[in-house]
Structure 1
Amino acid sequence: MSRKYLIRITELERLLSEQAEALRQKDQQLSLVEETEAFLRSALARAEEKIEEEERETEHLRAQIEKLRRMLFGTRSEKLRREVEQAEALLNQRRQDSDRYSGWEDDPQVPRQLRQSRHRRPLPAHLPREIHRLESEESCCPECGSELDYLGEVSAEQLELVSSALKVIRTVRVKKACTKCDCIVEAPAPSRPIERGIAGSGLLARVLTGKYCEHLPLYRQSEIFARQGAELSRALLSNWVDACCQLMTPLNDALYRYVMNTRKVHTDDIPVKVLAPGRKKAKTGRIWTYVRDDRNAGSSEPPAVWFAYSPDRQGKHPVQHLRPFRGILQADAFSGYDRLFSAEREGGALTEVACWAHARRKIHDVYISSKSTTAEEALKRISELYAIEDEIRGLPESERLAARQQRSKALLTSLHEWMVEKNGTLSKKSRLGEAFSYVLNQWDALCYYSDDGLAEADNNTAERALRAVCLGKKNYM
């Protein structure tokens, strides 16, 4: 092969090598571009996810701020248009209540829209009367000087408070001795609520009523007694309370049996700060309430509440408290109740009934913070269910069940279909999505009341029973 061709081949090989190197460099550049693009896409996705998370957190914080603002400066009422309309419809009843508290009554013969003549109701006849008779100082007529004859009397009553007062009851037991032998006889000592205690039953009742009904801390009661002239320390009052609790154990046991011997129980719990011996800081315990109240279903049986304390919120506590109960348990979605609804429970599973008030409250909080039209629509639909409950409150079970079957069932079916559809368009991490998911996850338990005339749509009965504890917590701080 000639030298010319060899040079040509060498030149071509060099060009091919250069082109291959150029292609390799371009491939590297392209790979780098692809890697950069992938990195940027990943970074963009992370940034978008972070922005979405921050937006959710911002929405959550705004909702919390709005909720706290309502608690501090406004009403916590969750009622919307339907409740306002009902309040306006009940305006006359409210006026009558106001008149009753002020001591005035309307003349039923006069229409409400007219200015009515009103008279004061007589004071309760069972209250003791103390007569103060006033005689005129004049025995002769101031006009002509003639003798005055009895004509009649003019009387008026005034309600007065006789303040409680402390007194000391000194019990003296007479001792007698036989004149023929050394036998000594004395009257037996009367029983006392607290053995060898100085407190009478009336004083103990006053202390217990003050603490548990009027929510007066013992240190305040100690100050009240001091102003009445008796120095009773807080430690002494505390010992009295403890002794009375021991004394009334049989009553507490009887109350427990009565509450559990029914077909339906409402339960709830609330945290309480407790000063434990040997601890400088307070720990958080729980007060559990169990309510028997079937008056909404036309029952004449008296309602009752049984309270229990536990040092924590473990599910074993309600399991133990409700061991003898069989029937319907109305509660929130606390996971500690799950064992009660299990077929493995001793005595059989309880029937779970959830609380529409809890479900509604979650949606309402979203509506207040965001004014979401979807949340507003959900609230309107739920209010239609409550309107039916308002109408049938106090009716017999059979009538309540019939009304729910005829009217509530259709509304519940429509609400479920609508919520499933809307929930598919909501972010699962949004507050409204979480609220809807909560409702749908609890759907069967939320709808049980429509198939049972005894069950309630919510667990407000238990929440009302805990209001006294809430008030006490504020006063004890």
Structure 2
Amino acid sequence: MAMKLSPAGACGNIILTTISDQPAISSEAKFLIAAQVEELLALVVEGKKRETSARRKISSLERRLADLNEKLILARSDKWGRKAEPFPDPDPDDEDPDDREDLLDDDEEEKPKGKRKRKMPKNMEIVIHDHFPDDMSCCTCGCQKKPINSWHSDRLEIVPERLICIRDVHHTVACNRSRCKQEESGKPVAAVAGRYIMADRSADLCLATEVAVQMLHEHLPAYRIEQRFRNQGVNLSRQAICSYIALLAGHFEPVAAAIMRYVMSGYVIHCDETPMWLQNGQKTMDGQKPSGKRGKKRYRQGFFWAVSRDERKWNPNSWPAVAFRFDLSRNGEVAEAMMEGSSARALTSDGYSVYMRFGSKDREGGPLILVRCWAHARREFYRANTAAPGKFAKWVLTQIKAIYKIERRTAGLPLAERLAIRQAEIVPLLSVLKAELEQKAPEAQGRLKSAIQYTLNAFEGLVQFTQDGRFEIDNNPIERCIRGITLSRKNSLSIGNEATGKVWAIFFTLIETCKLNKIDPRQYLHWLANEIERKRGVIEPEAMMPWHCPIGHGAL
């Protein structure tokens, strides 16, 4: 089989064949021409190699440029764009605009705009001011007119917080009669200090609880609370404020531990973690110096680990709860320590490798069912569409929106009905989605390719929620509980040391559990502190959990 020559090779072959057929040309000339033709062909081949290499480099640079352009767009979006991830604007060139409009419509009715009725708690104090006309005398008979009708309007007034000093005077009493002084019963008797939690402290229990609420529920940094006291002429330092909060945390810790046990007794557990910086120069609880850099100073990073139990969508009589733990590490040993003794059979997470080990068959106690989060999968396609808008990414977002639209109808239904709806309506959509992703994967580029690979790799866990009515479609229940830590981290920037992280974990366990149960954290923490004070620390932690608090319900 003859070898196929390139155009330059074929041209050179024709020249050599033509010269060899000319007897008038000498042999020396033929060799010289052949050498020049060969040199010319070598230059052509070298040029082709350089061209091929240049094209490959250009292609690589184009891919690199596209990747950097996507990263730049995403960086701008993260820095100055919207924090929410709304559905992208529909493409007018799509084939089925009617179907697209149906998918974009939400089940929830749009809230009416304009002035709305002001919402006020039922137990709010109401001060009534009666207003009568200036002249109430009758111009005919001269008697006083009687009220026959009235109307009222409400206005809100704020009472600024103020500090008062409570001076406890402890008296010593004795009998003044001479014969009583000689008896044992006649000796002087002194009053005993009655405080328990704040004993030997210059602050009242109410003040300590209030500064804890302001710092960890209202997310005020310690220096701002210090400034508020200074504005009233009191020099209460931030060190004293933090010491009061730490003192309360020691008494609240049994209740936080009870909430952790309650969470771990659930069938399905949601897990997540979020970072927190420890300040420069502070030793950890094991005596080690911090490592790592943040700006020009040295810091060490710690992590808040969160676990939650929320069964309200299929068990309306259950109490939702969330528990936090602070640790300097993000490795698997921390997660295993948290899950020790847990009776959970399923774990919902964002796919972090630490959580994936709980699905291993070699795990002591048996493997857990690993449920993945559709919100994270959707975010990958949302970012891909933000970086490089395309029809396929929008189509995937449309499919996910349709899945969520069906899932919203299952909230509050019995387990059997939830599972039946998912099997009948969501499973077919997932099958179509997976087939399209597998077909698109080989030709996808950039962020879209990463999004497709992420979803396909996690697809086994993403479809688990269609196999059991107790599973949720995403990990948003725990994501929402972490918002409080995120706000405090944003305002306070860092914490002092590992012990402070453990204090925060105790308070956020109580506060976020209150929010889940629609209980006012301020009223609950004051009630809990007063109960511990009244019982001198001898309490049953299970009876002190937020849903047993008699006040503050429905305040949020």
Q: TM-score, normalised on structure 2? A: 0.70
1:135 is displaced (CA, Å) by 7.1
Whether the 8 Å CA contact 1:67–1:365 is kept in 2: the answer is: no
Deviation string for 1:175-234 (max 9, x for gaps)? Answer: 234612464433332133133112222111101111111111111111112223322111
2:66 corresponding residue in structure 1: 55
Whether the 8 Å CA contact 1:319–1:337 is kept in 2: the answer is: no
The residue type paired with residue 171 of structure 1 is D
2:392 corresponding residue in structure 1: 374
- Structure 1 distance, partners of 2:460, 2:121, is 51
- Structure 2 distance, partners of 1:147, 1:29, is 128
Q: What is the aligned counterpart of 2:85 among 77, 85, 89? A: 77
- Structure 2 distance, partners of 1:146, 1:447, is 85
C-alpha change, 1:16 and 1:290, in structure 2 (3 Å) is same
Whether the 8 Å CA contact 1:426–1:432 is kept in 2: the answer is: yes
C-alpha change, 1:345 and 1:184, in structure 2 (3 Å) is farther
Is 1:448 the equivalent of 2:468?
no
1:172 corresponding residue in structure 2: 169
Whether the 8 Å CA contact 1:264–1:330 is kept in 2: the answer is: yes
1:125 is displaced (CA, Å) by 5.3
1:116 corresponding residue in structure 2: none
Deviation string for 1:319-377 (max 9, x for gaps)? Answer: 22222222221111212222222223332222111111110111011112322001111
Q: TM-score, normalised on structure 1? A: 0.81
2:428 corresponding residue in structure 1: 410
Deviation string for 1:288-345 (max 9, x for gaps)? Answer: 2211111122432111111122224223222222222222211112122222222233
Q: How does 1:225-304 map to 2 (within 5 A)?
A: 225-278=229-282, 280-304=297-321
1:334 corresponding residue in structure 2: 352
The residue type paired with residue 382 of structure 1 is I
1:108 corresponding residue in structure 2: none
1:172 is displaced (CA, Å) by 2.7
- Amino-acid identity (%): 27
1:33 is displaced (CA, Å) by 5.8
Is 1:90 the equivalent of 2:92?
no
C-alpha change, 1:149 and 1:452, in structure 2 (3 Å) is same
1:187 corresponding residue in structure 2: 191
Whether the 8 Å CA contact 1:299–1:396 is kept in 2: the answer is: no
Whether the 8 Å CA contact 2:171–2:191 is kept in 1: the answer is: yes
C-alpha change, 1:258 and 1:417, in structure 2 (3 Å) is same
Whether the 8 Å CA contact 1:426–1:433 is kept in 2: the answer is: yes
Whether the 8 Å CA contact 1:193–1:200 is kept in 2: the answer is: no
C-alpha change, 1:97 and 1:300, in structure 2 (3 Å) is farther
C-alpha change, 1:151 and 1:377, in structure 2 (3 Å) is closer
C-alpha change, 1:187 and 1:66, in structure 2 (3 Å) is closer
C-alpha change, 1:83 and 1:361, in structure 2 (3 Å) is farther
Is 1:147 the equivalent of 2:143?
yes
Per the alignment, in what secondary structure is the counterpart of residue 424 of structure 1?
A: helix
C-alpha change, 1:347 and 1:138, in structure 2 (3 Å) is same
Deviation string for 1:251-282 (max 9, x for gaps)? Answer: 11111111111011112222222214447433
- Structure 2 distance, partners of 1:435, 1:283, is 32
Whether the 8 Å CA contact 2:327–2:334 is kept in 1: the answer is: yes
Aligned residues: 434
Whether the 8 Å CA contact 1:82–1:383 is kept in 2: the answer is: no
1:214 corresponding residue in structure 2: 218
Whether the 8 Å CA contact 1:366–1:375 is kept in 2: the answer is: yes
Whether the 8 Å CA contact 2:361–2:367 is kept in 1: the answer is: yes
Per the alignment, in what secondary structure is the counterpart of residue 244 of structure 1?
A: helix
C-alpha change, 1:356 and 1:348, in structure 2 (3 Å) is same
Whether the 8 Å CA contact 1:292–1:304 is kept in 2: the answer is: yes
1:151 is displaced (CA, Å) by 4.6
Q: How does 1:63-142 map to 2 (within 5 A)?
A: 63-71=74-82, 76-80=84-88, 85-86=105-106, 90-91=109-110, 94-95=111-112, 99-100=116-117, 102=118, 126-132=123-129, 140-141=137-138
1:37 is displaced (CA, Å) by 4.2
- Structure 2 distance, partners of 1:82, 1:258, is 42
C-alpha change, 1:458 and 1:16, in structure 2 (3 Å) is same
- Structure 2 distance, partners of 1:78, 1:400, is 26
1:152 is displaced (CA, Å) by 5.3
C-alpha change, 1:197 and 1:345, in structure 2 (3 Å) is farther
1:314 corresponding residue in structure 2: 331
2:416 corresponding residue in structure 1: 398
- Structure 1 distance, partners of 2:214, 2:55, is 64
Deviation string for 1:380-420 (max 9, x for gaps)? Answer: 11111111111112222221111001111111111111111
- Structure 1 distance, partners of 2:145, 2:27, is 148
C-alpha change, 1:416 and 1:275, in structure 2 (3 Å) is same
1:53 is displaced (CA, Å) by 2.5
In terms of mean alpha carbon deviation, does 156-165 or 302-311 score higher?
156-165
Structure 1, unaligned stretches of length 5 or more? Answer: 1-14, 104-122
1:120 corresponding residue in structure 2: none
Whether the 8 Å CA contact 1:286–1:309 is kept in 2: the answer is: yes
Whether the 8 Å CA contact 1:329–1:352 is kept in 2: the answer is: yes
C-alpha change, 1:65 and 1:146, in structure 2 (3 Å) is closer
- Structure 2 distance, partners of 1:124, 1:70, is 36
In terms of mean alpha carbon deviation, does 46-55 or 235-244 score higher?
46-55
C-alpha change, 1:127 and 1:31, in structure 2 (3 Å) is closer
The residue type paired with residue 270 of structure 2 is H
C-alpha change, 1:441 and 1:140, in structure 2 (3 Å) is closer
- Structure 2 distance, partners of 1:416, 1:139, is 81
Per the alignment, in what secondary structure is the counterpart of residue 329 of structure 1?
A: strand
- Structure 2 distance, partners of 1:139, 1:465, is 59
- Structure 1 distance, partners of 2:410, 2:353, is 31
Whether the 8 Å CA contact 2:378–2:397 is kept in 1: the answer is: yes
Whether the 8 Å CA contact 1:319–1:339 is kept in 2: the answer is: no
Deviation string for 1:36-83 (max 9, x for gaps)? Answer: 644553453344223323322223323333443314xxx633234678
C-alpha change, 1:299 and 1:97, in structure 2 (3 Å) is farther
